[in-house]
Structure 1
């Protein structure tokens, strides 16, 4: 049976020490996620940033969209002499005129909630929408909910904020048809995902086995106790051990799919007919389960559901054997979202219409401008892609931020987290530290923040002194999506 290591072994003479048995990918995914958030939840931004960790523009786009949708619905209801609008034949409850329940699934550090509520309040000059909103943070980890609620900019809105500790695939305490809006950002890539491949008419799925390098294992005095704690997810005992999540070595092999444990078999196998043999495909079962639950809890006239995540709906990309099905960040597996399959499952669930657009399109259209991320801007520079030391790219990044900050004005104050590399020469380090100290608190908050076409145009002279070409930046603003891109998936009941 095919079997190989997923992680490079540093010392080929050191044998990996098994931490468990071969299990389906989604089993170990859930296991490691629990450990990650219990052991490293407060360090999450050290491993990766989301588009809402520090930036505000996605939240503002969501707030602008929600305000527009609710006021449009209210006007329609007023014309009909009713507080609600419903489609013919609807049997599900409609949204209450008195209360609007907005849910955020996987609220992270609370920045999206804070910026959404703050902007909604500013937009709602007549006080017709914001006072009615009840904002519910949903996460399976109580510690994550506490962290989100502690965000300083959320404090003025805490009277409107509630917490629900639950899995989004099973919101048992939430009644049918009681929610108006659901938003989740970069959550689907962490939910249960199988990796399935078609081989000669049969279907197999990837199984993983976790190991530690022998040298790493030797640093743990009570190995058998550590293995028991790992298997039992005993967080208190694991906290007493040396850090290990970055040092996991995963072996993989393939087994026939046990279809009795997999929902939507017919939809999945029908979808796989368009995929070549031997091509591994992500099957985001957690995302599918969350859509089913969203459909249940949304009111009949709800504004609806939105998910933002990295993935593709392009069958040509999904059929590419070299596509990146997942990556590892801080020990976690982060999976590409198979939007094409999710659309098929949504149709199976009776959702008539789904929308898939790039996240950038969503943000730009709701804010009335074109946007691109700072990373997109940096990719336009001639230096990027050439063989230069990494610290030179760091210097360019800081210089670019400083140039844009002459124009950029955020309504929020954030401190950018930008660690300097040890290999940066002393003189360059001193200059870089000077730039960091000079950055204004309401400037660009992180390296994946959105900037607008207007900001880029106004800062063009400064950018050109750094080597940027206007034509390259303008072309990037209108560039088609990458094969794997951040998308907005949406539906209404």
Structure 2
């Protein structure tokens, strides 16, 4: 049975039914080439502007390399670190800056070559242009390659691989058992009737969409937000899908007609990591949103994906990823909440700014969008009384268009008054000490101290940002 996201849209067909992962890859190409320079508008990561994930990774890497060197005797061998999907370059810049600071004797940092890997040259160019990467130019290289085959990188040559919120972009199928068969989700794209009416050369648009002809598509109105998808479910063609036995065995643990993500792109990165990691390497880390909880995976109402600016972003089935890592011969697998990894590095409890905002009594649909902007800025201003970043940056925070003029002037003034070494982003980690030191200021904004304490020690959510590590 086909279903429409918007049955009233009277959509106009622009493509045939294909497996979900094929249309996902198609859309990713269009999204990054049409909207790559606006990425922050649609999607932010924990490394877009914040530094704490990068610092935790640098401290963890330094500690493990020093421990390995001590066990083996003084080491001088070069160390190759890969970052797959480097985004705007902030994680790389903060990783190298912190590694240099903590490596006071110069035993690790001078040996590191940090390689940015991406399949889009424009992404690599933007990452390399990050101003905080400039002091590390002699340590940084860029590699244009897909993450399932990093061409030019030799077998067993890499010591550390990091990817942050990359897996959710990679090809993913949705599969379910149905009456003894395994089916997968197929999609067919349509364009909303309202946008169709504005396009004069319809056949030209359809041809450009099919061919991913970016230059021609730029001559048409923006369309990614106006796609309407039909869905149906068909029997899996296993000749086109790797790891059939492992996937089918896993699905035996899932109830009938419950869709689960099969993150084929993530599996491909594990296979490539297995090829690249040197004997005794520190290992491969992936950070992403998902779950390893079988009870959550068995929930028919769980959110398998979201859409950002027309792009599909999938939750990660960490339970199956772990099975696949072991199948591929990778060991030392650990899965932990990302905030546990950050907190362990800082030796304290941490929450995200988004978690903090969610505890405010007026959070959610009660507020107008511009009122939410005001709450965010007031919260950051309060936190900045104690928060001190090692980096000087202007907070990027585009204000809502529709708000009273006097409020816009007030909020713009507040934004400009924020200190440059304060909270760097709306997606950022905060420590228990920072919350404690600013508790009175936060109370003035309307936060309840007891609720904050509960948030700091709350168990992980059903779908959480997790850290997956293997060697």
Question: Does TM, scored on the shorter chain, surpass 0.5?
Answer: yes
How big is each residue's C-alpha offset from its partner over 1:141-181, in whole Å with a ceiling of 9 and x where there is no partner?
Answer: 11111110000111111111111111111123221110000
**Higher mean C-alpha displacement, 30-39 vs 219-228:** 219-228
Aligned residue for 1:278, secondary structure, equals: coil
1:465 is matched with: 444
1:174 is matched with: 153
Listed as ranges, the matches of 1:7-406 within 5 Å are 8=6, 12=8, 15-78=10-73, 83=75, 97-385=76-364, 387-406=366-385
How big is each residue's C-alpha offset from its partner over 1:248-291, in whole Å with a ceiling of 9 and x where there is no partner?
Answer: 11111111000111111111111111111111110000100100
Query: TM-score, with normalisation over the residues of structure 1?
Result: 0.93
Aligned residue for 1:205, secondary structure, equals: strand
Aligned residue for 2:95, secondary structure, equals: helix
- 1:386 Cα offset (Å): 6.7
Residue correspondences, number: 471
Could you tell me how far apart the structure 1 residues matched to 2:365 and 2:140 are? 48
- Is 1:436 aligned to residue 429 of structure 2? no
- Superposition CA RMSD, Å: 1.3
Query: TM-score, with normalisation over the residues of structure 2?
Result: 0.98
In 2 relative to 1, CA 388–38 (structure 1 residues): closer, same or farther, beyond 3 Å? closer
How big is each residue's C-alpha offset from its partner over 1:325-356, in whole Å with a ceiling of 9 and x where there is no partner?
Answer: 00100110000000000011111112233100
Aligned residue for 1:296, secondary structure, equals: helix
Could you tell me how far apart the structure 1 residues matched to 2:356 and 2:306 are? 24
Residue pair 1:64, 1:367 contacting (<8 A) in 2 also: no
Residue pair 1:5, 1:250 contacting (<8 A) in 2 also: yes
Could you tell me how far apart the structure 1 residues matched to 2:384 and 2:432 are? 14
Could you tell me how far apart the structure 2 residues matched to 1:29 and 1:414 are? 34
Aligned residue for 1:250, secondary structure, equals: strand
How big is each residue's C-alpha offset from its partner over 1:369-422, in whole Å with a ceiling of 9 and x where there is no partner?
Answer: 221111111112222247343333322211110000111111112222223223
Q: Provide runs of 4+ in structure 1 moved above 6 Å.
A: none
Aligned residue for 1:451, secondary structure, equals: strand
Could you tell me how far apart the structure 1 residues matched to 2:259 and 2:341 are? 30
Aligned residue for 2:46, secondary structure, equals: coil
